[in-house]
Structure 1
Amino acid sequence: MSSSHYTHGTSPAEQQRLTAMNHLLNERFLAQAALTPGERIVDFGAGLGQFSRAMAKVTGVPVVGIERSNEQIFEAMRQADAAGETHLIDMRQGNAEVAPLTDSEWGHFDMAHARFLLEHVSNPLFIVRTMVRAVRPGGRIILADDDHEVMRLWPEPPGLAPVWHAYQRTYDRHGNDPIVGRRLVQLLHQAGAQPRRNTWVFFGGCSGQPDFEGYVTNLAKILEEAIDEIAETGTPRETVQALLDALATWHRRPDAALWHGVAWAEGVRI
């Protein structure tokens, strides 16, 4: 079984970051998933459930969301209730590794989905195998995750490279993988699925785009929330804070640009 460590925690600040990130990304991920009405979906590592509900709106079938954190589930259901969408999601507390599904559900879902989950576990293959077991023969498995080495900012803010490298080391220290995104197709193959699509979802923009500040804010909040763990790698907190101060002004440069891609892969159960 795999262990997991979610670097960002479940504080209200992190929940706000996740909510904002969902607003930036969900439409693009829905387009890649190409969902059809009637599909039964289980969402591994559902978090606050925003994307689970977005998928359910397309399929017309409540999505089963698996989430280990009671704090995340509480906030997920609060948001669903506020939106009048509690009927769209079936949130279940439990680890993705063992998946709290009934005997009648195993092997009967049309799709199993995981986004930003595999980078936070020590044995992602274990989870992907569980996802394959959850779907019917011919059912789809969709994985979306980070390869943190892909990110680029230009003109590069001073101090970004060493701090970002240290941030990635916080994953290594817990046995997790900050570049798991490049392994998604391999993981599908090793789990016994047939890979059939490999692409990525662009996450970024430039000065002058309405959402650009949101992308930079997301990056800053990630580093701010991880500052203690970054410091444990030997990078002074003052160095991280200096970068955060630089980002606060950098995003207003007329020539500022940020590129990041979320790796996205799809396979089918043979």
Structure 2
Amino acid sequence: MLGRSQHETRRLDLQSRLYAAHSAHLLTLAGLRTGMKVVDVGCGTGELTSIAARIVGPSGHVIGVDHDPDMLAVAERNMAHAGLSHVTFRQDVLPNIALDQPADALVGRLILMHLDSPADAVRRMARHVRPGGVVTFQDLNLSRSRSVPALPLVEDIGCWIQAAFRQGGTDPDPGERLPAVFRAAGLPATGLAVAVPAGDAGSMSVAHATSAVTALLPLIEKSGTATAEEIDIKTLHTRLTAQMHEAAATLFSPELVGVWATTPTTPPHPVG
């Protein structure tokens, strides 16, 4: 839904840092352990890939899969810079992935919303996981963002972002759909957890909220929810920070949902 402008690249980097520790916690809860072979589908520039690589350690192996060669090139540079030599990447269009051997775990973050049939995609990709292995995906619920105490501008920002997603034909709360997606894929969830970054006026949560509005501004306007003049993007961060300071408020970012399941202990069907 969003292009890869310079601002969007910075926004995604900020989002990655905001949710990094929470993603790591959810992967650990899902069952990722030292020595595992893990496949990260829709890996992009490798944010979740690097998290998984640190969990499995040098005795494990992580394969990142994405359709975009430019993103994969960035991901390879990121892994080299981080010294994560037990990571490799493959270019494939999901849900089509090719592996030499079954993996111990299949992971993905903020990817299923971009696929035409999420349940079918999960079913097909899970066939690459060994019997008794782990399948886990993470996604956001955008409508769960809020401030305490409640601030009008925070409520406006939430409405704008949700309207933009709907205008772009995307569900703003894909996280809460994950259990149903897993059931439809024939993988009833064995676990679910929610993680929520939060902070004060100077936190990444505030910067993340205003950067999202900047990225989504054309879709917000197209939805008719607000005009560029009403949003006043140049002063948005300053106004939000001031309101947060004045109210001594805490901003809770959109919740990150992690759902996981264990693959059946019968041999997997041939990949079709």
TM (norm. structure 1) is 0.84
The alpha-carbon deviation at position 27 of structure 1 amounts to 2.5
Q: Secondary structure at the match of 1:194?
A: coil
Which residue, 120, 125, 129 being the options, matches 1:126?
Answer: 120
Question: Is the Cα–Cα contact under 8 Å of residues 200 and 251 in structure 2 kept in the other structure?
Answer: yes
The code of the aligned residue for 2:245 comes to: R
Q: 1:248 to 1:119 in 2, by over 3 A?
A: farther
The alpha-carbon deviation at position 254 of structure 1 amounts to 5.7
Q: Distance in 1 between matches of 2:81 and 2:114?
A: 29
Q: 1:182 to 1:75 in 2, by over 3 A?
A: same
Question: Is the Cα–Cα contact under 8 Å of residues 97 and 130 in structure 1 kept in the other structure?
Answer: yes
The alpha-carbon deviation at position 41 of structure 1 amounts to 0.6
Structure 1 stretches of 4+ moved >6 Å: none
Which residue, 249, 254, 261 being the options, matches 1:256?
Answer: 249
User: Percent identity at matched positions?
Assistant: 23
Aligned partner of 1:229 in structure 2 is 219
The code of the aligned residue for 1:78 comes to: R
Q: 1:190 to 1:258 in 2, by over 3 A?
A: same
Q: 1:189 to 1:264 in 2, by over 3 A?
A: same
Question: Is the Cα–Cα contact under 8 Å of residues 194 and 269 in structure 1 kept in the other structure?
Answer: no
Which residue, 202, 215, 220 being the options, matches 2:210?
Answer: 220
Establish whether residue 203 from structure 1 lines up as the match of residue 203 from structure 2.
Answer: no
The alpha-carbon deviation at position 46 of structure 1 amounts to 1.1
Q: 1:24 to 1:160 in 2, by over 3 A?
A: closer
Unmatched tracts of structure 2, length 5 or more: 265-272
Q: 1:121 to 1:231 in 2, by over 3 A?
A: farther
Aligned partner of 1:97 in structure 2 is 95
Cα deviations by residue, 1:123-142 (Å, 9 ceiling, x for unpaired) = 32232223322211211111
Cα RMSD (Å) of the superposition? 2.3
The code of the aligned residue for 2:249 comes to: A
The code of the aligned residue for 1:55 comes to: A
Residue range with higher mean Cα deviation, 133-142 or 249-258: 249-258
Q: 1:141 to 1:232 in 2, by over 3 A?
A: same
Question: Is the Cα–Cα contact under 8 Å of residues 154 and 258 in structure 1 kept in the other structure?
Answer: yes
Q: Distance in 1 between matches of 2:169 and 2:215?
A: 19
The alpha-carbon deviation at position 190 of structure 1 amounts to 0.9
Q: 1:225 to 1:219 in 2, by over 3 A?
A: same
Unmatched tracts of structure 1, length 5 or more: 1-5
Aligned partner of 2:83 in structure 1 is 84
Which residue, 110, 117, 121 being the options, matches 2:111?
Answer: 117
Cα deviations by residue, 1:190-243 (Å, 9 ceiling, x for unpaired) = 101131101101221335xxxx52111011111101111211111211222264
Residue range with higher mean Cα deviation, 51-60 or 251-260: 251-260
Q: Distance in 2 between matches of 1:69 and 1:247?
A: 35
The code of the aligned residue for 1:241 comes to: D
